[in-house]
Chain A
Amino acid sequence: MSDKAADAGRRVVVTGLGAVSGLGLGARAFTAAIRAGRGGIGPVEQFDATGFERSLAGEVRGFHPEMHLRGTDPARWGRSGRFAAAAARMAVLDAGIDQRELSALRTASCFGTTNGESQVVERLTERWVTDGGLAGLDPVLAGQADAGRIAAAVSAELDLSGEALTFGTACAASNYAIGYSFDLIRTGEADAVLCGGADASNRATHAGFHRLGALAADVPRPFDERRDGIVTSEGGAALLLEPLDAALARGARVYAEVLGYGMTCDARHMTNPDAVSIAECIRRAHHNAGVKPGDVDYICAHGTGTRANDATETAAVREVFNDSPPPISSIKSMLGHTMGAAAGFGALACCAALFEGFLPPTATVRQVDSALGPDLDCVPGQARAARPRVAQNHGFAFGGNNAVTMFGGFSR
């Protein structure tokens, strides 16, 4: 790790994890499911799926926001905001940091989303259609529709005074949030950041991917020769980032160190991914983190399970890693595609993998697609015991937005 800039600033570590997911509530439940290769895909319940030919989703079940939120009334926020706030609260509890201390610091909240408060928009639209026009819009719901309220919900819940910033860079948004949070702490602009992402299961997203022919018939099978698409999902993922010095001073458990990140834009097509741009994004992340391809022990793939994504992503990885990539797996095989939260869950999986010593699996792969090249190790089935030291987390999005975050194991 040699070419890191001399003025790299403060080291940044992850000390708390929170998850509201179809795989369970809390980082423990989430990690346990990932290790076991247990899936969270089931029938759509968050909207009326009548008339859809594909009606499976990775929804969060048994989530009662009032059981998690202490600082704000859940009724003020849409489902995405509640996910983010609950995940952030979990991350703070997990970190064992006094919330008043966190409030007194310059603590920011940075969360990514694809569809914002999509269920709020859906309810507004339904009344527009059924109650005869826009003149009957529900003012309370209309006041809850802004996507920026996702980060605000976190700041309200935890009484934070730092910036409350919501990224709308679609399915790479959590990596934008994590990367920016890393820079905020590194450069001294913030003393702690809750970051991650959130999205809610909704009709319009499901319909959009359905129409594109991008929905899987049953479960997503990333890297499989018969993969046939994504399963729409939802959830909220949160990480507490602190300066290393502060974490050590309070005797915090350190899951991992944030090493750096990189971003590119395809600037070619709104929905087709581009291998050249993704490869460049990975190189930038390596450079920013001060790592060489040979240092990387694990890649948490974007791995949506569409034909196009997995082929493009694998090609980009092969190019950067000189045709011999490290193990690369997709947690979307269990979680489905949580949209704006996806890279946040990827980051959680990377932190857990580095801290506990395992490689997350691609749980549903049956026969690895030979068209993806020889010797592709996508960790089929269940987690594999290992001691990864550097993990690479991918997030790619419609709009051509790519962001890759890098995490390193930390030992005192």
Chain B
Amino acid sequence: MRTVDRTPGVATAAPARPVAPVDLVAAGVISAAGVGLDALGDALRAGRAEGGRPDAARDTETYPPVELRAADFAAVDLLGRKGLSRLTRADQLGAAACGLALDSVADPAGTGVVLGTSLGSAGAVARFARDTFVQERPYLVNPSDFPGTLMNSAAGRTAIRHRLTDVNATVSGGPLASLHALRYARQTLLAGHARRILAGGVEELSPQSAWAWHRTGALAPRVALGEGAAVFALESPGERRGAGTPPLARLMVCTTGFADVARGALVVAHRLTACVEGALRRSGLTAQDVAVVAPGAAGRRGWAAVEERALRAALPAAADRHRLPVHAVLGETHGAGAALQVAGVLARWQDPRLDTRHEHAALVTSCGPDGSVGCAVLVRANAPV
């Protein structure tokens, strides 16, 4: 069996195999900044987003005293009226973001869906469970609410709306969920299970989840609680031969790993360092190539220090490296976070008002409270493979 070099006490995994890149050919983004990459780019430049109204219609519960940054979108504009009331907020965000990404795809045949989420619609899960306690009989729940309590509801509803009969997967993992989705989609695409995959993350704001954040004290000071969805159409470069428009960016690699947080935050930081170093090595890049960093852990109290330590170790200081603090603009978006970080990079790279031509590669990172870590390496679309 192959073994790997290990720092004592720190598990590392440094696969040396080079990677086959996949292209991000389209994006569907819904956030507190509004709909689309342009709106996100504007908000990132301004350093703030107004946010929309939280979905309050289904719930008599009020929100805790935390700043909220709801997604700014009108579901009816993106999905139409038909069947809309049956969809949870997470369903709406996921299906609408996938629809936006599909709009730029000429032939949707052979398209799969892979969504990352913490637990789907926390609001739907909690309301359904509540009904088993408060109804006259515990089984007198509303049967049409049942599918919406499942984690794969958004992906399933998306498939139905857009008639997507290929790979359809839902992955969990808190703040790592979107990176898990991108990694799974990449591997699955390269293994030939689909021609194209819509991959990203979705997270809804609900009173239930907001109270959970508030009560656990997990939200970092001065960070709003957000929601949103970002989905990217992934294709193998070979699939696109002859296609007219260049891709938005190229996903070189997406790597995730684990180090039990019970062994200390330092061990988690080391694991993330190893993850980033391995990802850059496999991408054929050096730390100097990384011109943009979009970190993901700063919305969670105490975790910015862990992520920053890992980044300092993996990337020597560079004066012209740009920091993209997506959470400071969109709020902590949990399961959708890393996908919105990727969207932030794309928004920056396509913004004609910014001269970013020299920016070759971007790094998106995250770490979760259990010790899961991960990163994605993106390069500009015109970069040689």
Instruction: Name A's B-contacting residues (CB within 8 A).
Output: 5, 50-53, 72-73, 76, 101, 103-106, 109, 113-116, 121-122, 124-126, 128-130, 133-135, 137-139, 142-143, 145-152, 155-156, 159-170, 176, 180, 183-184, 186-189, 191, 203-204, 206-208, 210-212, 243, 246, 249-250, 262-271, 277, 280, 284, 288, 397-401
- With contacts A106-B15, A267-B164 taken as known, whether A161 is within 8 angstroms of B1 at the C-beta atoms is no
In whole angstroms, how far apart are the Cα atoms of A148 and B11 in the complex? 20
The B355-385 residues at the A interface (CB cut-off 8 A) are: 368-372, 374
Size of interface on B: residues with Cβ below 8 Å to A: 92
Cα A51 to Cα B139 with chains together (Å): 8
Does the CB pair B180–A163 fall under 8 Å?
yes
Select from chain B the residue with minimum beta-carbon distance to A287: B192
Instruction: Knowing A165-B256, A168-B152, say if A129 contacts B180 (CB, 8 Å).
Output: no
B211 and A156 contacting across the interface, CB-CB below 8 Å: no
> How close is A20's CB to chain B, nearest CB, in angstroms?
20
Q: B165 contacts A76, CB within 8 Å?
A: no
Q: Given known contacts A163-B183, A399-B156, is B3 in contact with A142 (CB within 8 Å)?
A: no
Contact of B159 among A109, A262, A267 (CB under 8 A): A267
B12, B139, B207 interface centre (most CB from chain A within 10 Å): B139
Residue of A nearest to B191 (CB): A183
Q: Which of B129, B191, B370 contacts A148 (CB 8 A)?
A: B370
Report how far A57 CA is from B304 CA in the complex, Å.
45
Docked CA distance A101–B118 (Å): 32
Contact A105 B2 (CB under 8 A): yes
- Compute how far the CA of A203 lies from the CA of B140 in the bound complex, rounded to whole angstroms: 12
Q: Does B260 contact A (CB under 8 A)?
A: yes
Within 8 A of A (CB), among B98-124: 112-113, 117-120
A208 touches B141 (CB 8 A): yes
Q: Are B15 and A263 in contact (CB under 8 A)?
A: no
CB of B132 within 8 A of CB of A207, answer yes
B129→A211 contact, CB < 8 A: no
Task: Given A137-B211, A161-B259, A184-B187, check contact A146 B169 (CB 8 Å).
Answer: no
* CB closest residue in chain B, given A154: B258
Contacts of A399 in B (CB 8 A): 147, 150, 152-153, 155-156, 159, 168, 170
Residues in B whose Cβ lies below 8 Å from that of A113: 151, 172
Question: B139 to A207, Cβ gap below 8 A?
Answer: yes
Q: Are B258 and A134 in contact (CB under 8 A)?
A: no
CB pairs A–B below 8 angstroms (12 shown): A5-B192, A52-B138, A129-B134, A134-B64, A161-B12, A183-B188, A203-B132, A204-B141, A208-B146, A212-B146, A399-B159, A399-B170
Tell me if B126 is interfacial: C-beta within 8 Å of chain A.
yes
Shortest A207–chain B CB gap in Å is: 4
Complexed CA–CA distance, A165 and B4 (Å): 21
Asked if B323 lies at the interface with its beta carbon under 8 angstroms from chain A, I say: no
Tell me if B353 is interfacial: C-beta within 8 Å of chain A. no
Residues of B within 8 A of A (CB): 1-4, 6, 11-13, 15, 17, 61, 64, 112-113, 117-120, 125-126, 128-134, 137-143, 146-147, 149-153, 155-157, 159-160, 162-174, 176-177, 180, 183-184, 187-188, 190-193, 207-208, 211-212, 215-218, 255-260, 262, 271, 368-372, 374
User: B171's contact among A5, A122, A168, A207, by CB below 8 Å, is which?
Assistant: A168
Task: Flag if B129 contacts A203 (CB, 8 Å).
Answer: yes
* Smallest beta-carbon distance B170→chain A, Å: 4
Partner of B216, one of A121, A142, A159, A246: A142
Say yes or no: A139 contacts B152, CB within 8 Å.
Answer: no
Q: Nearest B residue to A146 by beta-carbon distance?
A: B174
Beyond known contacts A270-B156, A400-B159: 15 more, CB 8 A cutoff: A52-B139, A101-B1, A126-B133, A129-B133, A135-B215, A150-B172, A152-B370, A159-B11, A162-B258, A203-B138, A207-B139, A207-B141, A268-B160, A271-B147, A401-B155
Centre residue among B1, B162, B271 by max chain A CB count within 10 A: B1
Structural contact, B151 and A269, CB atoms closer than 8 A: no
Bound form: Cα–Cα A203–B138 in Å: 8
A211 lies within 8 A of B140 (CB): yes
Q: How far does the alpha carbon of A283 sit from the alpha carbon of B129 in the complex, in Å?
A: 38
Residues of chain B within 8 A of A169, CB atoms compared: 151-152, 155, 168-170
Determine which of B120, B137, B140, B187 lies in contact with A189 in the assembled complex, contact meaning CB atoms within 8 Å. Answer: B187
Q: Do B17 and A188 have beta carbons less than 8 Å apart? A: yes
CB–CB A187/B61 < 8 A: no
Q: In the complex, what residues of B have CB within 8 A of residue A400's CB?
A: 156, 159-160, 168
Point out the residues of chain B lying under 8 angstroms from A106, CB to CB.
2, 4, 13, 15
A49 to B, closest residue via Cβ: B138
